[in-house]
């Protein structure tokens, strides 16, 4: 599906922007660590969305759920880390753990798809 490639491209661009700002802005070391962690998680899940885009050609509901989980994880987990790193604020209580759980669910959906695919 096109949406997964669009999201992957936007996420990839965002990681480059956030990484550049983190490298050149006058931030304390704790903020830089948070931002760099967000960049790492976001780029890996942007690449995962490229894989989801390839697999989505088979019209699998489980693949769509995996893509949604990865996207939600980036918004919640990475978004929280970016907000804490850049502005010392959070999205809402428990947003990072909910985002992390979304990442885990996305990867489990991908594993389930692999398990069920040839059955």
Residue 27: partners with Cβ closer than 8 Å, 6 or more residues away: 35, 85, 86
**pTM for this model (two decimals):** 0.94
* Segment 45-85, tens digit of pLDDT: 999 999 999 999 888 999 999 999 999 999 999 999 999 99
Distance CA 108, CA 17 (A): 30
Q: What is the pLDDT of residues 6-31, one digit of tens each?
A: 999 999 999 999 999 999 999 999 99
pLDDT class for 1, splitting at 50, 70, 90? confident
Residue-level pLDDT at 100: 98
Q: Give me 42's structure tokens.
A: 């976001």
Q: What share of the chain is helix, strand, coil (3-state, %, to 5)?
A: 85, 0, 15
Q: Is the pLDDT of residue 119 over 70?
A: no
């Amino acid at each position: 599906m096109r949406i997964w490639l669009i999201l992957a491209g936007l996420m990839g661009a965002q990681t480059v922007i956030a990484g550049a700002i983190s490298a050149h802005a006058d931030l304390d070391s704790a903020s830089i660590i948070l931002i760099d962690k967000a960049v790492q998680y976001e780029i890996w899940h942007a690449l995962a969305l490229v894989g989801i885009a390839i697999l989505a050609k088979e019209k699998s509901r489980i693949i769509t759920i995996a893509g949604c989980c990865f996207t939600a994880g980036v918004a919640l987990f990475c978004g929280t880390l970016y907000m804490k790193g850049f502005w010392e604020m959070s999205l809402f209580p428990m947003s990072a753990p909910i985002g992390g759980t979304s990442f885990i669910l996305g990867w489990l959906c991908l594993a389930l798809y692999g398990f069920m695919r040839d059955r």
